[in-house]
Structure 1
Amino acid sequence: MSMNGRYARLTPAELERTLRDPGWGEEFVNELADADWDEQREASAARCHGTEKAWHALDFLLGRIGFPIDIVHGEEDIPGAEDWGHSPPCILSPKAVHMAAEALTALPVDALVRDVTPADLALADIYPVEMWERGESLEYVTSRYQALVPYFQAADRAGDTIVVWLQ
């Protein structure tokens, strides 16, 4: 079973209900994800988004450059929430989403992976290690990064909170 990075944009009312009832939030987010999948929405229009197995490499790459917001794991727990797969959901407040959107917009993809090779990711034990040991291209990670930029920009424009978890 693989671990995949997941995101969901919530309005203030949806967040409030999720904070009161995390189980409702999980069901609601699953419905949003199904609708996005069925409609094949672009990242800028989607309410839910995923980085697939690139989440750990993104965490590593963003961490090494001192990215100001933890967009991979979130910054605040949802009290009482159980795991939504491999981790409990955490939130990025509208303020954190705004800061992240600005930082993502300012960070070109080549700067994210500058001086990093698949061998470096394998040596750092970055999930999925087998991928990096085979020497697969960092394009897998950079394409997921590039899709995060419009997703966060859209969430910022809407004033949404983003819920983050590993599924």
Structure 2
Amino acid sequence: MSMIGEYARVTPAELDRALGDPEWALKLVCGRMEAEAATAPEPAAARCLDVDKAWDALGFLLRRRDFPVDIVHGEQAVPDADDWGYGPPRYLTPEQVRSAAEALAGISAESLTAGVAPADLAAARVYPLVIWERGEPLDYVRESYELLRPFLRAAADEGDAVLLWLG
């Protein structure tokens, strides 16, 4: 079983409800994911996004840059939430989403991975370790990053919060 980095945009009102009713939030997100699976919207139009197994590499690369927001694990826990896969969901407030989107605008995918080799990810034990031990190129990480940037930019532009979890 793989750990997949998952994101869902929610309005501030939906976030407020999610914080008090995480079961409702899970149903909301699952419904949106199911609907979008059929239409496959572009990241800027999507309400949900997954970065597949690139989440840990993205986190590693962003931490090297002292990124101001944890866009991989979220900044706050959703209180009393059950496990949504590999732990309970976390979230970013609209202000944190805006801060992240602004910071991401200044980091290209190429600059994010510049000077980093698969061996560096393997040495840091970044998930999924096996692909870095095989020497797979970081193209996969750059592609996921280029999906996440417009997703968070659109969320920031709309004033949305974001729920995050590993599924």
**TM-score bin (small chain):** over 0.9
Structure 1: gaps of 5 or more residues:
none
Q: CA deviation at 1:107?
A: 0.7
Corresponding letter in the other structure for 2:2: S
The code of the aligned residue for 2:160 comes to D
Distance in 1 of aligned mates of 2:127 and 2:158: 32
Q: Is 2:149 the partner of 1:145?
A: no
Code of the aligned partner of 1:155? A
Runs of 4+ in 1 over 6 A off after TM superposition: none
TM (normalized to structure 1)? 0.98
Task: Tell me the SS of whatever aligns to 1:71.
Answer: coil
Paired residues, number: 167
- Look up the match of 2:32: 32
Please give the root-mean-square deviation of Cα atoms over the aligned residues, in Å: 0.7
Same amino acid, percent of matched pairs: 50
Deviation digits for residues 48-97 of structure 1, max 9, x if unmatched? 00111000000100001111100000001111011110021111000000
Give the whole-Å Cα distance in 2 for the aligned partners of 1:12 and 1:118: 39
Does the Cα contact within 8 Å between 2:12 and 2:94 map onto a contact in 1? no
Give the residue type in structure 2 aligned to 1:107.
I
* Gaps in structure 2 of 5+ consecutive residues: none
Matches within 5 A, 1:32-51: 32-51=32-51
Match of 1:120 in 2: 120
Partner secondary structure for residue 51 of structure 2: strand
Structure 2 residue aligned with 1:9: 9
TM-score, normalised by the number of residues in structure 2: 0.98
